[in-house]
Amino acid sequence: MGREHDFTTPDSEEVSPDSFPVVPNDTKDLERPVRFVRCQVGGVLHVITYNDNERRMQFMDGETRFVAIKKVFATGTTCDGIEGMP
């Protein structure tokens, strides 16, 4: 089994200790940054990455990506069933 993340050394062998539903919000950051994100229903995910870059990423249904994010915007996000894993 992989090790828990530390946000400084990206590694696909790392595991997340938890997951939580992400509610897109144009004004607030996530309750805590996440290293992995999954969209149950595909579409566009409009985010601010951990390094403060604004991105719009296209997801397929059920896709999980290894990307550190700290904010998910409501405006411009069309994905549904978004899960964050710290």
Question: Is residue 6 in some structural domain?
Answer: no
Question: Is residue 46 in some structural domain?
Answer: yes
Question: Tens digits of per-residue pLDDT, 18-73?
Answer: 889 999 999 999 999 999 999 999 999 999 999 999 999 999 999 999 999 999 99
Domain span at 30: 20-85
User: How many structural domains compose the chain?
Assistant: 1
Q: Please say whether the beta carbons of 33 and 50 come within 8 A.
A: yes
Task: Report pTM.
Answer: 0.82
Distances (CA, A) of 58 to 33, 47, 65, 72: 20, 11, 11, 13
* Secondary-structure breakdown of the chain: helix, strand, coil percentages, each rounded to the nearest 5: 0, 50, 50
